[in-house]
Structure formats: C-alpha cells, structure tokens
Structure 1
Amino acid sequence: MTSDLEERVRAAFHDKLLLMKIPEKEDDFLPSGCCLLEKRREETEVEQALLAQKEEFQMKMESLQHRRQELASKEKQLKEAVLKFDKFLKDNDAKRSRALRKAQEEQQQATQRGREAEHLRQEITRLLSAKEKLQQRLKAHKAFPEFLQKVVAKAEQFQEIPELVGRFQTLMATQAKLAERELVNREAMEEEHAHLQKYVEESSNQILQQNNQIAQLQAQLEQAQIRVHKGESIWNRIQNTAAEKTLQVGQIKLAAWNLFQMVAKHRKLPADVPQEDTEAQLDAVSVNQTLQEGHEFSE
C-alpha cells in the first residue's frame, strides 16, 4: 500500500513539472543557481508533502490496525459470549432434561411406591387373615400338645415331645418313600403289563396269520387231495384198461398160437416159431392160407 502512495506522489510531481510554464526567451530564464535552488525547494516541499502523507498514512494504518485489533478482540469476545450463551443454553437444556427425567423418575418411583404400598396393604391383609386362621387352628389344636404330653408320660421310649414328633416324622418319611417305591413298582408293573399286552397282541396277530396260512394250506391240501383222487381214479381206469388190453392181447396171442399149432399140425409146417412171436405165427398162418387158396384156384 506504501508503494502505491509513492507512485501517486511521483505521478503528481511529474504532472506539476509538465504543467510548469517554460519561458520562450533566454532573458526569461533565471540563473542556473536560482533554478537549482527552486528545484531543490520544490523537491523538498514534495518530499515533505510525501513524508506528511506517509506519516498520515502510517497513522491511518496504525489506527486501522488498532481498530482491527479492537474488532478482533470484540469478535473474540462476541464468540466467547456466543459460546458461553450456547453453553448456557445447552446447560439449561441439560438441566431441564435432567429435571424432566428426574420428575419422571420421581413420578415413576411414586407410582411404584404406591403399587408397593398397595401390595404391602394386601400382604398385611393376607398375613392378618393367615394369622387369624393360624390362631384358630392353634386354638383348635390346643388339645394335641396335651395329648402328646400324656403320650410321652405313658410311653417309656420317648422322654420329650420333640422325640415323639421326630419319630412320627421319620415314620412319615418312611411311609412316603415306601409309597414312592410302590408307585415306581406300580409304574414298572404297568409298563410290563403294557409290554405283555403288546406281546399278546403281536402273538395273537401272528397266530391269526398262521391260522390263515394253515387255512390256505388246508384248502390247497384239499385241492391237492381232490386232484390226487382224480389222478388215482384215472390211474385205476388206466390200469383196468391196461389189464383188459393185456388180457385181450393174451387171449389173442393164445388164439394165434392155437391157430398156428392147428395149421402147422394140419399142414405139417415146421413148428420152430417161438410162442411169444405172435406176428410170425400170424404170418405163417396167412402164408398157408394164401397157398391153400392158390391150390384150390388151380384145381
């Protein structure tokens, strides 16, 4: 900024020199010493004016710097005030939130204490009722201690009532264990009975299936017996027919043998044909019959 001011001063001085009137004649010129003094005087004036402007500018700059510092200080103070105010607002909000939360907590605690008080009143009422019932039971059972005292006095096994009560509790515990054991045994017996029932049912089903299979096999056996009976009847018929055929064959063979013997004896044929060879016997008889018919035809 100082350089700009110097430049403006130099420009003004230059313009002033240009605006100065130059004499047209030589007579108008001053002596060179006077001109030099005049120039020095003007230069001094200009330097003084420049120095005054510099001092003024310096004072303005110092004033401006001082004002800037004041503004910075005020800005800092303002920021601190804003921060303090913001902190105050935040603290106020936090205090307000804590107050509201505390009020809600106190209200909840009051409600909880009210419920607890109501519960305690109900509990006191219940305890008073239980106390009254216990007092009535105590009054009703007042005769039992006297009875127990008489029992202890008569019994030689017990010296005091607690011993008698302890013995009774032991017996009750034993009875409970026995009852529990009986329950376990009963459950085991019921389980075994269930297993037995299941086994009986499975066995019954198996027996039923086997009976069905036996009935099927019996029906198959009856069918097979019927087929066997039919086969035996057929076989018997076949055997009877075979016997009849065998008898007929035997008779035929016997007749053929007798016929062969008669023909052989009558015609004096050789009897070297075996008795079992019926076919040869019939062939011989047939040949003999053919020869006889030819002889008769020739005659």
Structure 2
Amino acid sequence: MISLPKTYWKIPEKEDDFLPSACLLLEKRRELATVEQALAAKKEEFQMKMEELQDRREELERKEGQLKQAILKFDKFLKESNWICIQNTAASKTLELGQIKLAALNLFQMVAKHRKLSTDVPPDDTEAQLDLVQLCIGDLIDILANFRKSEPTPVSQPEPMTESQSELESR
C-alpha cells in the first residue's frame, strides 16, 4: 500500500468542503447573479430618485421664474404708485399755491381800489402785492391807535337799581 503524506488526509471542516469545485462555482455564480440583481434594483431606484429630483428641480426653477415675474410686476406697481402719489401731491400743492396767489391778488385789488392806488404791479408778482397790502394794514393800525388816543375815556355809568334796592334806599 502506498502511504500518502498526512497533508492529503485532511478532514473537511465544513459541509461545503465536500462539494466539488464545479458546484461551488455554480453557487458563487448564483450569489453573483443575486448581488447583480440587487445592484440593478438599487441602480434603478437611484435612477428613479434622480429623475424625481430633476423633476422637482425643474418645478422649483419654474416657480422661481414665476416669483421673479411677480416681484417685477409688484415693483412696477410700487413705482413710481409713488409717481401717482407725487403727481397728486404736486397737483394739490399747485392748487393751494394758486388759491393763495388769487387771495393775495384779491386783497391787493381791494386795497388799491380803497386807497385809489395805481395797479401797476404785475398780477404774478405776489410778493409786491402783499408788500402793499402790508403797508395799508400798517397805516390802518396807526390810524386806529391815534383814534383811540384821541377818544375820551368813558365814564362808568352806575348800574340801574332793582326794585328791592330802591325800596331799601327809600327806607
């Protein structure tokens, strides 16, 4: 009998060690196919998530564009609305100035007519008109002050008596 070295007399530790290498190769191929299927499923899931994220990104970009347009429209509305407000304020102030100038012209014409002065002051020279009105008012104040000085001081009159007071005096 031939004696073999002890290294060839190895006892298998696991059941897999009894399987021939062709079976092991088939089993490894099956495991590889399972792993590849799982990898393909993960790739497909990843691809679907990427497509979903791309759709969401496109939707966000579309909404961002809409928001920018809305902001531009609102900015236009605010503008210059401010411009309408400025125009209204200017119109109001212009009207008020016109009324003041007409009132000054009216006072000037009344003073000129009363004093029989020439009205050679231009109608748009409000300052000169008001200067003449001021002179007239100053003259009237002086006249009134002189009149009050020359007026005698009034003597106070006794108050009329009531019936009960006159009865008391007669007693």
TM-score by length of 1: 0.31
TM-score by length of 2: 0.50
The answer to which structure, 1 or 2, has the higher relative contact order (CA under 8 A, 6+ apart) is: 2
